[in-house]
Amino acid sequence: MFDGVLSESILKRAQETKLIEVYRHDIRDFTKDAHRSVDDTPYGGGAGMVMRPEPLVDCVESLPSLGKRCRILLTPQGEPLTQKIVHELISYDQIVLICGRYEGIDERARKLVADREISIGDYILGGGEIPAMVVIDSVTRLIPGVLGNELSIESESFEAGLLEYPQYTRPEVFRGEGVPKVLLSGHHAQITKWRREQSLLRTLERRSDLLEKAKLTEDERKFLELTNHMKEVR
């Protein structure tokens, strides 16, 4: 499942330049029965299957420690992945991503192998592989040298606790709609001001919950209050 994601674009270049190394480990290689089974029926009854503790724990414990390490279980029960958490993960030398399957993993294994549990959203997937890819991609982007323009990280959504401002490129007019004049002015201070205001407005409209924790100036708070007042008047 990981081949396509790891062999394209930014992640491919990051591996080629040795900025990251990604190793995959098959839990079935740590089974001891002829069928290489990693799951069994749940005690107490119920639908589905549960991942057995022995092969999972043996697999994780077989991995050499490569410095400061964090072992993460990808599960819908984990803390929601945020950019703040991504910044925390960048401090580790080694991240072990444990991908659950079926109805989940045996609770005893969870306690033994997971330092942290992370979810990428309130919905159900077939397993933890896609969430693991999300973690790899989001963390890799923050490694110095991975992106061609380091400034692009600073302006992305969630880096400043806000959604990113609208972006435009050529042509100047597309299907009758033009690019905002301020972006054509060459006046960098006005462009910066416009982008900040647009970022505030977009966050207010789409993710107002983010504004509660965002670092805003007094003028920006007044700008948002005025905007809200104008909407109420309308």
What are the tens digits of pLDDT across the range 99-135? Answer: 999 889 999 999 999 999 999 999 999 999 999 999 9
In this prediction, residue 6 has a pLDDT band, given cuts at 50, 70 and 90, of very high
pLDDT tens digits for 52-80?
A: 999 999 999 999 999 999 999 999 999 99
User: What pairs with residue 105 in β-bridges?
Assistant: 51
Buried/exposed 23-36: b ≥16 CB within 10 Å, e otherwise = eeeebeebbeeeee
Q: What is the pLDDT of residue 229?
A: 79
CA 88 to chain centre: 12
Write down the domain spans for the chain. 3-140, 173-233
Query: Residue 101, SS3?
Result: strand
Q: What is the mean pLDDT of residues 200-226?
A: 95
Mean of pLDDT over the chain: 94
Read off the pTM.
0.88
In this prediction, residue 91 has a pLDDT band, given cuts at 50, 70 and 90, of very high
CA 130/CA 140 separation, integer angstroms: 15
CA 169/CA 151 separation, integer angstroms: 18
Q: Are strands 69-80 and 94-99 parallel, antiparallel or unpaired?
A: parallel
CB 14, CB 146: distance < 8 Å: yes
CB 168, CB 194: distance < 8 Å: no
For residue 216, pLDDT over 90 is answered with yes
User: What pairs with residue 52 in β-bridges?
Assistant: none
Let me know the angle formed at the C-alpha of 36 by 38 and 32, rounded to the nearest 5 degrees. 95
Rounding to the nearest 10 degrees, give the CA dihedral for residues 168, 170, 174, 177: 40
CA 104/CA 94 separation, integer angstroms: 24
Q: What is the mean pLDDT of residues 160-165?
A: 91
For residue 2, pLDDT over 80 is answered with yes
Q: What is the pLDDT of residue 155?
A: 63
CA 45/CA 196 separation, integer angstroms: 55
Q: Under CATH, which architecture does the 173-233 domain have?
A: Orthogonal Bundle (1.10)
In this prediction, residue 151 has a pLDDT band, given cuts at 50, 70 and 90, of low
What is the fold of 3-140? Alpha/beta knot (3.40.1280)
